[in-house]
Every structure is written in C-alpha cells, then in structure tokens.
C-alpha cells in the first residue's frame, strides 16, 4: 500500500507560494471587512471571487468537488464548508470564512471567524481561543519535530479552556494541490506523525466547538455543523517549515493575519 509523498518546496516554489498566500490573505481580509448585518453570504462570495480573479489568480474552491462558491462561509453552529447563498447576516452572528487562491501553479489556503456587529462575550472568547490555538500549535512547527506535536499543542490549549476540537476534519499539506500530504490533525499525542522538514508547506486549521467535538454534514453534502448546535469557530493559515521559526505564507502586504 503506497503512502503519498510529502512535497518539499524549492526556493523558487516557496516564492510562488508566498505570492499565492498574499492574494489568499487579502481575499480573507476583504471578506472579513464585509461581515456586517444585512450582507448576504453570496455578496461576500462574489467579492472574494472578483478580487482573486483581479489578481490574476483563480479561486481554489470554485468547482472543487462540485462546490459552487469561491469561499466557504459558515455561520454560528456551522463549522466549515458553508455554501454561499441568500442568507442575510444578522447582528450577533459569527461568520467563518475559508478562502483559497491558485496562482502560478500553487495554492494558498486560510480562514478566520469574524463577529457580525455586536456579539456575545462567549462568542468573542471562542473566536480568540481558536486563533490563539493556531499560534500555540505552530510554536511546535519546527524542523525535527513531528506533525502531532502541532496537533497536541492545539488540542491542549483548546481543551484547557473548556472547548473541543473537531476530529472528523483536519489540516493538510498544500502546494500544487489544495490538499497534499501530510494530514495535520488538531488532536492526538505528541511525538507522532511525519517528521517536519524545511520546505514543507502545511495548512494548520483549528476547528473549535463551544460544545462537544462531534459534527454532522447537512443534506447539501457540504455544510458541516456541530452535532449539539453549539457555536463553532475556525482559523487557518498556510505555513512554511524552515530551518528556524515557521513562516506564515497567508499574510497581507501590511502584515495582517485576519
């Protein structure tokens, strides 16, 4: 039984991935700025598509496996893979937006959860914990460590705060393909999984539920919700393993990560 090889990127390929990552991060930031009461998820999706195409790139998600949007837009108890449509955002919603851009042969992939107007303190704490769990995880994203060192750090941070990490969906390698080896779970024991090497590019993406970790996929075949109806948040960046600190590739020109 074959095992998919992990792609190590050359300096030239890394430079191209930085460019794809910048466009992806700018699309995420644009989408986040549009999260306001009264805006539809389709309006956000359309703006994301137009921006990505204006940069000479293609939306990674559009048509992927039959997906009809350029962004996954998931509201409240929706964890991931929400299909953009006529839903109008309301004050108090939290909105997870996942975007990808394909430019010059390489993908960028990133996500964040945004408050819509004034939201509850509970929701703000969940969003903050989800983002911080990413940063806790990539502290372990150093050459010589193993993939599950990242996973364990994310899980420990999340569970210490009374939340849970989704187990049915995981992070992944990213590059020429949107999803490459290795899988990067947000849970599991440290010291396991492939060894991290310079040149690896991976998408680390905590998906965090306020309640239990279980999820279910709705009849549309895409939208994934918390099984218990609790709020969920999502945060993701594409990162590069280096000889030292990991480098976040999905960052805007002015250094923003959301």
Please state the rounded mean pLDDT for residues 104-120. Answer: 98
pLDDT at 2 over 50: no
pLDDT band per the 50, 70, 90 thresholds, residue 1: very low
The CATH number of 11-246, from 3.90.230.10, 3.30.1490.20, 3.60.15.10, 3.30.70.270, is: 3.90.230.10
User: Which residue from 47, 44, 49, 42 is spatially nearest to 63, judged by alpha carbons?
Assistant: 49
User: Measuring CA to CA, how many Å separate 98 from each of 70, 93, 173, 250?
Assistant: 9, 16, 16, 12
Q: Residue ranges per domain, the chain?
A: 11-246
Q: What is the per-residue pLDDT for 71?
A: 98
| Parallel/antiparallel/unpaired status of strands 94-103 and 58-59 | antiparallel
Under the banding of pLDDT at 50, 70 and 90, the label for residue 77 is: very high
- The span from the CA of 66 to the CA of 194, in Å, is 31
DSSP state of 66: G
- Helix 41-54 to helix 11-33 angle (10° resolution) is 150
Which DSSP helix (H) or strand (E) runs through 148? helix 147-160
Q: How far apart are CA 187 and CA 193, in angstroms?
A: 12
Asked if pLDDT for residue 248 goes beyond 50, the answer is yes
Q: Could you give the CA distance from residue 83 to residue 68 in angstroms, rounded to a whole number?
A: 7
Nearest to 187 by CA among 147, 217, 224, 220: 147
- Binned at pLDDT 50, 70 and 90, residue 4 comes out as confident
Output the average pLDDT for the chain. 97
* CB 72 within 8 Å of CB 118: no
Give the per-residue pLDDT at 153. Answer: 98
Residue that wins the pLDDT comparison between 255 and 218:
218
Instruction: Work out the average pLDDT over 156-182.
Output: 98
Query: Distance between CA atoms of 5 and 181, rounded to whole angstroms?
Result: 7
pTM metric for this prediction? 0.97
The whole-number average pLDDT for the span 122-141 is: 98
Is residue 3 predicted with pLDDT exceeding 80? no
What's the average model confidence in pLDDT over 74-99?
98
Query: What are the pLDDT digits (tens) for 62-75?
Result: 999 999 999 999 99
Is 204's pLDDT higher than 50? yes
């Amino acid at each position: 039984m074959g095992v998919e090889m992990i792609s190590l990127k050359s300096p030239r390929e890394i430079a191209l991935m930085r460019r794809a990552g910048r466009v992806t991060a700018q699309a995420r930031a644009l989408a986040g700025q549009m999260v306001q009461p009264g805006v539809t998820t389709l309006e956000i999706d359309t703006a994301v598509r137009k921006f990505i195409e204006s940069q000479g790139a293609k939306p990674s998600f559009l048509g992927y496996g039959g997906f009809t949007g350029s962004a996954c837009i998931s509201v409240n108890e929706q964890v991931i893979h929400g299909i953009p449509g006529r839903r109008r955002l309301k004050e108090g919603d939290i909105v997870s937006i996942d975007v990808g851009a394909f430019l010059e042969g390489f993908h960028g992939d990133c996500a964040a959860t945004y408050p819509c107007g004034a939201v509850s303190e509970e929701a703000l704490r969940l969003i903050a914990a989800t983002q911080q769990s990413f940063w806790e995880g990539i502290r372990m994203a150093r050459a010589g460590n193993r993939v599950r060192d990242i996973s364990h750090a994310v899980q420990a941070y999340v569970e210490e705060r009374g939340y849970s990490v989704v187990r049915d969906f995981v992070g992944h390698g990213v590059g020429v393909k949107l999803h490459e080896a290795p899988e990067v779970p947000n849970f599991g024991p440290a010291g396991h999984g492939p060894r991290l090497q310079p040149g690896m590019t991976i998408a680390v993406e905590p998906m965090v539920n306020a309640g239990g970790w279980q999820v279910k996929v709705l009849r549309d075949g895409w939208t994934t919700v918390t099984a218990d109806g609790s709020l969920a948040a999502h945060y993701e960046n594409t990162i590069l393993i280096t000889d030292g600190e990991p480098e976040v590739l999905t960052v805007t020109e002015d250094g923003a990560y959301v």
